Amino acid sequence: MFDYKLLAALAAVIEQGGFERAAQVLGLSQSAISQRIKLLEARVGQPVLVRATPPSPTEVGRQLLNHVQQVRLLERDLHRQVPALDEEGLPERLRIALNADSLATWWAGAVSTFCAEQQVLLDLVVEDQDVGLKRMRAGEVAACLCGSERPVAGARSLALGAMRYRALASPAFMARYFPHGFEPRRLARTPAIVFGPDDFLQHRYLASLGIEDGFLHHLCPSSEGFLRLAEAGVGWGLVPERQASAQLQRGDLVEICADTPIDVPLYWHHWRNGGQLLAQLTEHLRQMAPGWLVPL
């Protein structure tokens, strides 16, 4: 039989990014958390954590974390059927990985009624759409939004739609770097804005214009900051069409090359045995997504 106090300690260390914060969340001392992890490793006969900053799970650690995520969700179903078992009576907390652009545009509007009706709290982990699935594979989240269709073992994926991005810049930026009109070959020598090292959207856009070499770029890991830098003329970048609609209407931003959007598919991944709450959220997103995303 599993000792779920030990598994809760493992989950807290990974979710909180360290032993000290895990101890605070569980109301224990740091040494107590460390002892629980050591006892868990003794019982499974191998390490469950890579002691790094932040700690990361080993392969067996990932399997245990996946188990913990699913047990938490199944326990919620049981508490609703037998309320006396729920001693604390606290709302369930769903840990979900999603990309920053979804969070900045459509996610809040899509899930607000669900959170209110189901009395669920969200613990959102922001990751690029190309790497969010790593969090789920590591057992750190119960579900994720990402650009990959293929689910991890024990999970399912659902195609929600696509986010449409347009290559935008300020009129002043265009006048400075393209005084005689847009020339694709010059784009690699003008500063771009990239969200982070895992963001290859600008690379894809340049490749579509026949530019395969490297390019000059700023790094800005903030959706709001990304938009502000583009408005200020710091660089050009691919911005969600929905996020920049007001700026486009006012003329604060313009499309650098007309009618060349890039659609990024979004897939919802969730555990196959994730209980009723995860199944209900999945169905809710299936119904809401067409109002926020473009068809694949």
pLDDT along the chain (296 residues), means of 10: 83 88 90 92 90 86 81 69 53 84 95 92 82 81 90 91 97 96 90 91 90 89 95 97 96 92 94 85 96 94
161 forms beta bridges with 266
Predicted confidence at residue 87, as pLDDT, reads 52
Predicted confidence at residue 23, as pLDDT, reads 92
Say how far apart CA 66 and CA 51 lie, in whole Å: 19
Say how far apart CA 111 and CA 280 lie, in whole Å: 11
Could you tell me where the DSSP H helices lie in the chain?
4-16, 19-26, 30-44, 59-81, 100-104, 107-118, 132-137, 171-177, 201-208, 223-231, 245-250, 275-288
Say how far apart CA 92 and CA 253 lie, in whole Å: 41
Predicted confidence at residue 62, as pLDDT, reads 82
In the chain, the domains with their CATH numbers are: 163-263 (3.40.190.10)
Say how far apart CA 124 and CA 208 lie, in whole Å: 33
Predicted confidence at residue 159, as pLDDT, reads 97
Contacts of 130 (CB under 8 A, 6+ apart): 146, 147, 148, 198, 199, 200
Write down the pTM of the prediction.
Answer: 0.78
**DSSP code per residue over 12-76:** HHHHHTSHHHHHHHHT--HHHHHHHHHHHHHHHTS--EE-SSS-EE-HHHHHHHHHHHHHHHHHH
Predicted confidence at residue 51, as pLDDT, reads 87
Predicted confidence at residue 106, as pLDDT, reads 96
114 forms beta bridges with none
